[in-house]
Every structure is written in C-alpha cells, then in structure tokens.
C-alpha cells in the first residue's frame, strides 16, 4: 500500500516553515522533513498536520496533549514492614530476647549484648558507658 501525507509546521529557530512527507511502503514508514518557502502556518493547520502524522501509529494528538499537561502523581514510598525495621545492630537479624540500654536507648538481642558486654561494658553502637543496672528487657 502506497500512501503519502504532507505536513506543514513553523520552526521556532528558522524564519521559514518546515514541511514533511510521510510515505508508507510495504509496512515501512519513512518521514522526510525539509525547508518550506512558507513563513507562517496557523495553529489549526499545524494541529491537523500533526494529527495526520500521528494517526497511522494509532496516537491521538488531543490525548497526548492532555497527558503531557496532567501533573504526575506523587511518588509514594511504601513503608517497610515493622519486622524489617526491628533488627539487632550486632547480628543484623530480628531481635531475640531484646534488651534496651537506658542510657542511650539502643536495643540489641540479649545474647548479642551479653557477648559484647563480656568484652567491654559500653554500648556496642555509640560506646556510651553502661552498667548492668542500665539494661532493660523489652517484651514485644
């Protein structure tokens, strides 16, 4: 099938207009754009030309223009499930028998904190000095 459609539009950078030809041969479409001797074109003629250029591809100019002016929906980040947030800073797993340090508020697994305390009596995260009386078992 051999058909061709002419388009005309004005170019902002050029004093002259721009025109083009769309040719379809055996399912292949070619578009040729070249300088026009015409200096002006009406907005309605430009829209008509653009409609005829987009139609073979199944695009609707009015719909495309509407979509381009619609505000984009805000990107919403999904919060992580509570289980993913509640992890021991030492073993990086979900808390097992969690213990909080009252001095700084950091929480660790009971076993992890016990092992860390066998080396030094300080918070494994912020190094605040901690006594055993500053520990609080947490029950979820």
Question: Average pLDDT of the chain?
Answer: 75
According to the model, what pLDDT value does residue 16 have? 45
Residue 68, exposed/middle/buried by CB under 10 A (0-12, 13-18, 19+)? exposed
Going from the N-terminus, what domains does the chain have, and what CATH number goes with each? Answer: 3-69 (no CATH), 82-137 (3.30.40.10)
Q: What angle do CA 27, 58, 62 make, to 5 degrees?
A: 145
- pLDDT confidence of residue 82: 60
Task: Give the model's pLDDT for residue 11.
Answer: 39
Asked whether the predicted pLDDT for residue 10 surpasses 50, the reply is no
pTM comes to 0.42
Give 107's pLDDT tier (boundaries 50, 70, 90): very high
pLDDT above 60 for 3: no
């Amino acid at each position: 099938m051999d058909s061709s459609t002419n388009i005309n539009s004005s170019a902002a950078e050029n004093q002259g207009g721009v025109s083009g030809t769309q040719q379809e041969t055996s399912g292949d479409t070619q578009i040729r754009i070249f300088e026009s001797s015409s200096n002006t074109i009406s907005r309605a003629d430009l829209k008509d030309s653009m409609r005829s250029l987009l139609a073979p591809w199944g695009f609707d100019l009015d719909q495309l223009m509407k979509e381009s002016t619609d505000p984009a929906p805000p990107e919403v980040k999904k919060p992580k499930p509570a289980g993913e947030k509640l992890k021991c800073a030492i073993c990086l797993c979900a808390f097992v028998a969690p213990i909080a340090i009252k001095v700084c508020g950091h929480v660790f697994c009971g076993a992890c904190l016990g092992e860390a305390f066998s080396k030094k009596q300080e918070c494994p995260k912020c190094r605040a000095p901690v006594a055993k009386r500053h520990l609080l078992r947490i029950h979820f």
